[in-house]
Amino acid sequence: MNDPPAAPADADLLDEARAGSGAALEALLERHEAKLYRFARRLCRHREDAEDVLQESLLAAARGLPRFRGASSLGTWLYTIARSFCIKKRRRSVFAPPEVSLDTEASVAAGGVADPSRRPDEALEASRLEAALEREIARLERPYREVLLLRDIEGLSSAEVARVTGLSVGAVKTRLHRARARLREALAPFMAPRGEAAARAAAPCPDVVRLFSRHLEGDVSAKTCASMEKHLASCPRCAGACDELKEVLRLCRAAPEPAVPADVQGKVRRAVHDLAAGRSQATRAIARGSRHRQVATRAGVSGRPRIEGGPTPSTRRPPGPTGSGAPRPCAPRAAVPTRGSRSPPPRADGSPPRR
């Protein structure tokens, strides 16, 4: 399934929204809300908190849009806002309930990566695996969890994750490799017997999971890659571990976008609508040339939505060079599938999709 060909690009909607189009503003936020909600639910690990965060983030974005200069993609900017609201939420609640596993009933019941060709026992096994994945993601400490969510579920590049989190690209990757390795380890029992095809290797095994994760980020030299390939060809245990990591990443990328609760959606729509109406009044005032810029600022403030927002969206600059599209030293053994409907086509080398 592809987006309808006529769907305007984010950049076009942005221009229109900045020029005062309420419809463009609403369309823009609507386009991103399910992804933001998916991210917030896993980062907050609490549904109501995630709903609040979504609401606050969308409204803060609607208010901050005139200040958004496009230094990063709109999506990256929105994740930055949502992340800061999630963190704030957690800090604010002194008696916050213990962080628990995200309930997975929705994603599992919805079939997650629904595949009609699956047999019932396969479907059951798959839904167990998906539930286990959610549990293990929820168990990761936040610094690891947020990096994994942004990179492997939301599909941002490492450089974009660095921008959202304020970390260096190197720190993002270090956390990412650890998070991936931990998930792979925790989920290995659910993926037996593939991972149990253990056999004695002649030489001591390298840390193939970490190597493979680094390879996905374009950080493994051709020489190292070749020796890894050689080892994998002769070591079923390591080959199994790599397969498990691929499966974990495939599942991450297949995480569905949850339905945004109707009441949250309604509140946001109304507030954004009011905000947009306030803005277009301001725009008309400017057009009449009655006064100067001051008018627009004041009208913008008076047009504030009912739901009060949070921090001023960050315009943090990327710490590193944009794009981590380093050439891939060699091809991994099998491609990691990517989310079909919203990602670019899978790269031939099986690396995660870039945006």
CB of 237 to Zn ion, least distance (A): 5
Check residue 209 for interaction with Zn ion (CB under 5 A): no
Closer to Zn ion by CB, 65 or 245: give it.
245
CB of 194 to Zn ion, least distance (A): 14
CB of 205 to Zn ion, least distance (A): 3
Check residue 82 for interaction with Zn ion (CB under 5 A): no
Check residue 205 for interaction with Zn ion (CB under 5 A): yes
Closer to Zn ion by CB, 53 or 242: give it.
242
Stretch binding Zn ion (CB under 5 A), from 29-37, 157-165, 233-241, 287-295: 233-241
- HEC string for the chain: CCCCCCCCCHHHHHHHHHCCCHHHHHHHHHHHHHHHHHHHHHHHCCHHHHHHHHHHHHHHHHHHHHHCCCCCCHHHHHHHHHHHHHHHHHHHCCCCCCCCCCCCHHHHHCCCCCCCCCCHHHHHHHHHHHHHHHHHHHHCCHHHHHHHHHHHHCCCCHHHHHHHHCCCHHHHHHHHHHHHHHHHHHHHHHHCCHHHCCCCCCCCCCCHHHHHHHHHCCCCCHHHHHHHHHHHHHCHHHHHHHHHHHHHHHHHHCCCCCCCCHHHHHHHHHHHHHHHHHHHHHHHHHHCCCCCHHHHHHHHHHCCCCCCCCCCCCCCCCCCCCCCCCCCCCCCCCCCCCCCCCCCCCCCCCCCCCC
Check residue 238 for interaction with Zn ion (CB under 5 A): yes
Closer to Zn ion by CB, 71 or 198: give it.
198
Please answer whether residues 30 and 7 qualify as being in contact, where contact means their C-beta atoms are separated by less than 8 angstroms.
no
The footprint of Zn ion on residues 172-201 (CB under 5 A) is 201
CB of 235 to Zn ion, least distance (A): 3
Closer to Zn ion by CB, 22 or 240: give it.
240
Stretch binding Zn ion (CB under 5 A), from 106-114, 230-238, 245-253, 344-352: 230-238
Stretch binding Zn ion (CB under 5 A), from 95-103, 234-242, 285-293, 342-350: 234-242
Q: Which of 62, 235, 248, 276 binds Zn ion (CB under 5 A)?
A: 235
Interface mask toward Zn ion for 105-144; x: CB under 5 A: ----------------------------------------
Check residue 228 for interaction with Zn ion (CB under 5 A): no
Closer to Zn ion by CB, 11 or 205: give it.
205
CB of 176 to Zn ion, least distance (A): 22
Q: Which residues bind Zn ion (CB under 5 A)?
A: 201, 205, 235, 238
